[in-house]
Chains A and B, each alone.
Chain A
């Protein structure tokens, strides 16, 4: 069955401040099938988190607005949903794991109670207290924490344990889609590996789809089926993980991204970063957004926005491939 769980189409989000309009997300389109994991990869400020928040309709109301596009989940457009309808969807069907487990738990409520909160809010089967309590125990065991520790407070757990609790909360209601916003950034490498393995295991066990937001290509390689490279609020390349990691054709930005990973086998004195900075999102350059930093920049890149060139499922937005197709 090739049913899509969620389809994001031409999504654009802006932040309005007193000084300027920030174009955070510009016409992003992607879709996720059931049980699929898509990785959104990009630099800080590329618009990855904004995309995630837009799906949950959790953008800051006063400044952000979705200017165009739709997010279709189960045939319904989330952008037009009322607040109350969205509230029922959040946690129950789509849930999110935040970046920093140190701050995403309430410090004065026990972890058990925080897990139960989500269960209580979306308690559609009218489970009684004991059943909820048992579910809390199960969830803790599921993420590898002894259930007897549910009466403890977040500060009594280590960082990795806290992230496990956060995962337990996100999985509490068996969501269909899990959005993980850099879930391992705040953790050290050994714990990172554990948490990623845990997430992959649980995803299989619970048949959840996942959006993995990260800037760590290693994480992507480990977890994702599909990858979308985001730059300045646009998807500049997307495809299966195989396309991105082993394919021959790439967007110059992707090449730069891979080039910046230190290679153990090649002796190099310095890291090999992409020169320059992300363009100012209040004042994006015309044409291709990447052209000021691009090594293969052509005249056309400075004026014309590149079209999407697809090689099967592998899609690249770059003028370099215009002649080939």
Chain B
């Protein structure tokens, strides 16, 4: 091999390493995962619907009642049919995206962040701090999830933000447990001790060495619970604690439609599909992200 080409390859390799940031690298690995990209594509469409809902269909269409055309099956004028008040289901689904997505993702995201902090602190420091944090969490876990969420909303008053807070707070103990156990498996490893021997501060060890190594199961858990969060939010709305009618929201559409399921199945099929698609796309993305975060899995 002549030395010129060798030099060239070395310098190109050098460039390759210097310019690549961590995120770019993760993205590059994720791009190779077709299923994850499929999930991302669906999710992109859903986010698009959230951002440009009014361009697709004006908001007032989703509220317009017309008893004359109630419970119509899907047709050219009403793509997804009409509901029991004659409202266009397509418009309601498009405009419901925002509320449902904010509920589902928001509750999980904030819940995980809070649970992450508690779980990390409990797992890392152990001993008394661990005991204190986990006993508080256990106490909260004793109260049935739905009951706790309802109690919080009852105290704060109904509304999107309050439902979000309620769901998030009720989820925190579960995430704390998952994250704590994930961290305990990482903490016994030698490289944590090695980092300590380098004089790395605690917060740095938690953020850089422990969390990224423990994040796998947490991401899976998180993406799985987005779908169920949407359903829980729907249940709250159904009980009159969540988003107030006539604001469109997938979950409340489901519960409104359930009485007519036999005569007009499209009332539940479409909002149901919207929830399934959202949850599915996030699950696929989460799976791909989990794999992309672990450099050992790349080939």
Q: Enumerate chain A interface residues (CB-CB to B < 8 A).
A: 56, 58, 61-62, 87-92, 95-96, 98-100, 103-109, 117-118, 121-122, 148, 150-151, 153, 155, 166, 169-170, 172
Once bound together, how far apart are the Cα atoms of A153 and B298, in whole Å? 11
Which residues of the partner chain A approach B198 to less than 8 Å between Cβ atoms? 90-91, 95, 117-118, 121, 169-170, 172
Which residues of the partner chain A approach B6 to less than 8 Å between Cβ atoms? none
Q: Do A155 and B195 contact each other (CB < 8 Å), given the known contacts A103-B189, A148-B14?
A: no
Which residue of A62, A118, A148, A153 contacts B13 across the interface (Cβ within 8 Å)? A148
Residues B190 and A100 in contact, CB atoms below 8 Å apart: yes
Residues A106 and B209 in contact, CB atoms below 8 Å apart: yes
Of the stretches B51-59, B253-261, B288-296, the one at the interface is: B288-296
Which residues of the partner chain B approach A109 to less than 8 Å between Cβ atoms? 208-209, 212
Q: Do A121 and B199 contact each other (CB < 8 Å), given the known contacts A62-B126, A109-B208, A148-B14?
A: yes
Residue of B nearest to A155 (CB): B296
Which residues of the partner chain A approach B14 to less than 8 Å between Cβ atoms? 148
**How many cross-chain pairs have Cβ atoms below 8 Å apart between A and B?**
91
Tell me the chain B residues, 198-225 only, with Cβ under 8 Å from chain A: 198-201, 204, 208-209, 212-213
A193 to chain B, nearest CB (A): 24
Interface of B is mostly: helix
Which residues of the partner chain B approach A92 to less than 8 Å between Cβ atoms? 199
Which residues of the partner chain B approach A153 to less than 8 Å between Cβ atoms? 295-296
A17 to chain B, nearest CB (A): 15
Most A Cβ at <10 Å: residue of B14, B190, B204: B190
Residues B191 and A103 in contact, CB atoms below 8 Å apart: yes
Which residues of the partner chain B approach A62 to less than 8 Å between Cβ atoms? 126-127
B121 to chain A, nearest CB (A): 15
Q: Do A104 and B193 contact each other (CB < 8 Å), given the known contacts A87-B199, A117-B198, A148-B10?
A: yes
Q: Nearest 7 pairs between A and B by C-beta?
A: A91-B199, A151-B17, A90-B199, A91-B198, A103-B190, A96-B197, A104-B190
Which residues of the partner chain A approach B193 to less than 8 Å between Cβ atoms? 58, 98, 104
B18 to chain A, nearest CB (A): 8
Residue of B nearest to A151 (CB): B17
Which residues of the partner chain A approach B194 to less than 8 Å between Cβ atoms? 96, 98, 104-105, 166, 169
Residues A118 and B189 in contact, CB atoms below 8 Å apart: no
Residue of B nearest to A84 (CB): B201
B31 contacts the other chain (Cβ, under 8 Å)?
A: no
Once bound together, how far apart are the Cα atoms of A271 and B295, in whole Å? 45
Residue of B nearest to A88 (CB): B199
Flag B155-194 by CB within 8 Å of A: 1 or 0 each: 0000000000000000000000000000000000111011
A290 to chain B, nearest CB (A): 31
A sample of 5 more A-B contacts (CB under 8 A), given A106-B209, A117-B200, A169-B198, is: A88-B199, A118-B200, A121-B199, A148-B13, A148-B17
B60 contacts the other chain (Cβ, under 8 Å)?
A: no
Residues B212 and A108 in contact, CB atoms below 8 Å apart: yes
Residues A90 and B197 in contact, CB atoms below 8 Å apart: yes
Residues A108 and B293 in contact, CB atoms below 8 Å apart: yes
Interface pairs (27), CB distance under 8 Å: A90-B197, A90-B199, A96-B194, A98-B193, A103-B189, A104-B193, A105-B191, A105-B194, A107-B213, A107-B295, A108-B213, A108-B295, A108-B296, A109-B212, A117-B198, A117-B208, A118-B199, A118-B200, A121-B200, A121-B201, A122-B199, A148-B10, A148-B13, A151-B18, A155-B295, A155-B296, A170-B198
Once bound together, how far apart are the Cα atoms of A56 and B208, in whole Å? 22
Q: Do A106 and B195 contact each other (CB < 8 Å), given the known contacts A91-B200, A100-B190, A155-B296?
A: yes
Which residue of B16, B127, B200, B296 contacts A107 across the interface (Cβ within 8 Å)? B296
Flag B264-299 by CB within 8 Å of A: 1 or 0 each: 000000000000000000000000000001111000
B1 to chain A, nearest CB (A): 16
Q: Do A151 and B20 contact each other (CB < 8 Å), given the known contacts A87-B201, A91-B197, A105-B191?
A: yes
Once bound together, how far apart are the Cα atoms of A120 and B14, in whole Å? 22
Which residues of the partner chain A approach B212 to less than 8 Å between Cβ atoms? 108-109
B28 contacts the other chain (Cβ, under 8 Å)?
A: no
Which residue of A56, A99, A100, A117 contacts B195 across the interface (Cβ within 8 Å)? A117
Which residues of the partner chain A approach B201 to less than 8 Å between Cβ atoms? 87, 121
Which residues of the partner chain A approach B294 to less than 8 Å between Cβ atoms? 107-108
Which residues of the partner chain A approach B32 to less than 8 Å between Cβ atoms? none
Residue of A nearest to B200 (CB): A121
B196 contacts the other chain (Cβ, under 8 Å)?
A: yes
Which residues of the partner chain B approach A117 to less than 8 Å between Cβ atoms? 195, 198, 200, 204, 208
